[in-house]
Amino acid sequence: MHRIWSLAKRNGKEILREPVSLAFLIGLPVVMEILFYYMFHTLTPQFEMRYLAPGLIGFANAFLALFLAILISMDRESAFITRIYTTPVRAYEFILGYFLVAIPLGLCQSAVILLVGGLLESSFFSWSLLLVLPGSLLSIWMFSAVGILFGSVFNAKAVGGISSILITGQSVLSGMWFPLEGLPEGFLTVMGILPFKNISLLLQSIATPASSFEDLWRPFLIVAAYTVACAALSCVLFIRNSKAK
Amino acid sequence: MNAIEIKGLTKRYKDTVAVDGVSLDIRENELFGLLGVNGAGKTTLIKMLACLLAPDGGEGTVMGLSIAKDAPRIKALIGYSTQETAVAKNLSVRENLAFYGSLYGLGREEVAKRTEALIARFSLEKVADKRVGKLSGGYQRKVSIALAIISEPKILFLDEPTLGLDVLARRELWRIIRDIQKNTTVILTTHYLEEAEALSDRVAIMVEGRLLDVDTPRGLIAKTGADSFEDAFIKTVGGGKDA
């Protein structure tokens, strides 16, 4: 556990000391939250805080994948990982070090977005928001797993572009920015199968006190399934691609 | 006692034999130079000894432990500085040393003590709190070697430690390497023949994965009848012919 903690601390410093990381991890989602709320919340319920803030948490968490992927691809290319493998560190400790650092970062994102949401729309505050923090762990872990997967497979030049596709996917396919009514059936089916909309639905359901178990279980199972699958795949690919050749 | 014993060690990549049946003994506290042109198999050989690569044939022991069976115990006894500096670039020198020390399970006080000792030993005081990524190549190499010895290893692998450094930085590292060798077995790969001659007790010359000869630098010069160590190397690699 001591080594995992050391690795996580190092990973956190590497990410947070890049000047752009805080701007993208927290600054951009908060700016979007303020702008979109003020511009649109009186025009359409889509941008009321109970929908906007949970959607933005998923969007913000997607940046975790980008920064983890960049860190891991650079660690691979700079032989940092090879070098650490000459110490008593085991592969599973390495992977947990990357997963672990994403938890405080992701929870900070969730807390700041919820807090700003409550300040903008005081009726948004409720006890159920406290459940959004643990609820967002699933989204944090899923995007961390995808980040580890991307970082294990792609080089540092490619990883930014690939992660951008993921972030765009979370933004567009989450149903956060436009009403879903009237969209073609096939498109809605694809959105229902992919994790993006389900992350938003899950967090929206947790944040809404009137939600029922029925609202929760389906998105929860879908996001959980993606999380488990991505985590398993990322572990296999990380171990395969990070060993010396 | 021998620090390292290798018998018929082999590594293959598809159709290429990177290390071809190498047999070799390295004594404790010896500074042993591995020489060869690009692709000779030097780095592959030390990666197998550092338990980073599994051999395809033969056997090897590090401080009496099998590289095939005792990897975790061997990793606690070795230090390794890669060709690339491979440091945490956004961490300061002090943070890098503390981080590496913690990976070996050292307590916080012990890590702090060793960190300060290494900063003094490597003359890193002025840059101790600067991020390593902002330092010159010479400083980064010094940090890289300091990281490799924070665990006080019995055996230190240095893979091209002075690659790309200017003459002053190189001489500074030579001083440090000689100092480390007083109580550590050092295995050094290098392309710089004057470096191998100046530092090594013995050298091994490899070509295309095979070990051609092992001797002291003077022994190689005498054996080949060459005027200099560089000529002796060229004659050995060229099968007795001058280039």
pLDDT tens readout for residues A7-62: 999 999 999 998 899 899 999 999 999 999 998 888 888 888 888 999 999 999 99
In the structure encoding, which two tokens stand for residue B11, read together? 């590594």
Residue of A nearest to B71 (CA): A88
CB-defined contacts A:B, below 8 A? 71
Residue-wise pLDDT tens digits, B3-45: 999 999 999 988 889 999 999 999 999 999 999 888 889 999 9
**One-letter amino acid for residue B56 of the chain:** D
Residue of A nearest to B98 (CA): A6
Q: Which residues of A touch B84 (CB under 8 A)?
A: 78-79
What pLDDT does residue B128 have? 93
Instruction: Decide if A39 touches B, using CB distance below 8 A.
Output: no
Interface of A with B in 80-99 (CB under 8 A): 80, 82-89
What pLDDT does residue B243 have? 46
CA distance B76 to chain A (A): 6
User: Domain limits at A185?
Assistant: 2-244
DSSP H/E element including B169: helix B167-181
Q: Which residues of B touch A84 (CB under 8 A)?
A: 103
- Contact A223/A199 with Cβ under 8 angstroms? yes
- Contact A102/A140 with Cβ under 8 angstroms? yes
**Helices A49-77, A91-120: crossing angle, 10 deg rounding:** 150
Instruction: Decide if B233 touches A, using CB distance below 8 A.
Output: no
Taking an 8 Å cut-off on Cβ atoms, the answer to whether B86 and A87 are in contact is no
Taking an 8 Å cut-off on Cβ atoms, the answer to whether A244 and B53 are in contact is yes
Domain count, chain A: 1
Q: Which residues of B touch A89 (CB under 8 A)?
A: 103
Instruction: Decide if B95 touches A, using CB distance below 8 A.
Output: yes
User: Of B52, B91, B131, which has the smallest distance from its Cβ to A85's Cβ?
Assistant: B52
Residues in CB range of A100: below 8 A, 6 or more apart: A4, A5, A7, A8, A11
Taking an 8 Å cut-off on Cβ atoms, the answer to whether A13 and B91 are in contact is yes
What's the pTM value of the predicted model, to 2 decimals? 0.87
**Dihedral sign from CA coordinates of B5, B7, B11, B17:** positive
Interface of B with A in 2-31 (CB under 8 A): 13
What pLDDT does residue B115 have? 95
- CA-to-CA distance for B173 and B68, rounded, in angstroms? 32
Q: Which residues of A touch B82 (CB under 8 A)?
A: 79, 82-83
In the structure encoding, which two tokens stand for residue A215, read together? 């609202």
Residue-wise pLDDT tens digits, A144-190: 999 999 999 999 889 999 999 999 988 888 888 877 777 888 888 88
What pLDDT does residue A53 have? 92
**CA-based nearest residue to A171, from A183, A163, A181:** A163
- Give me the residues of chain B with pLDDT under 50, please: 243
Helix (H), strand (E), coil (C) string for B75-111: HCCEEEECCCCCCCCCCEHHHHHHHHHHHCCCCHHHH
Residue of A10, A84, A86, A101 to mutate, interface with B, max B Cβ within 10 Å: A86
**pLDDT exceeds cutoff 90 at A115:** yes
Per-position b or e across B138-170, b if 16+ CB within 10 A of its CB: bbbbbbbbbbbbbbebbbbbbbbbbbebeeebb
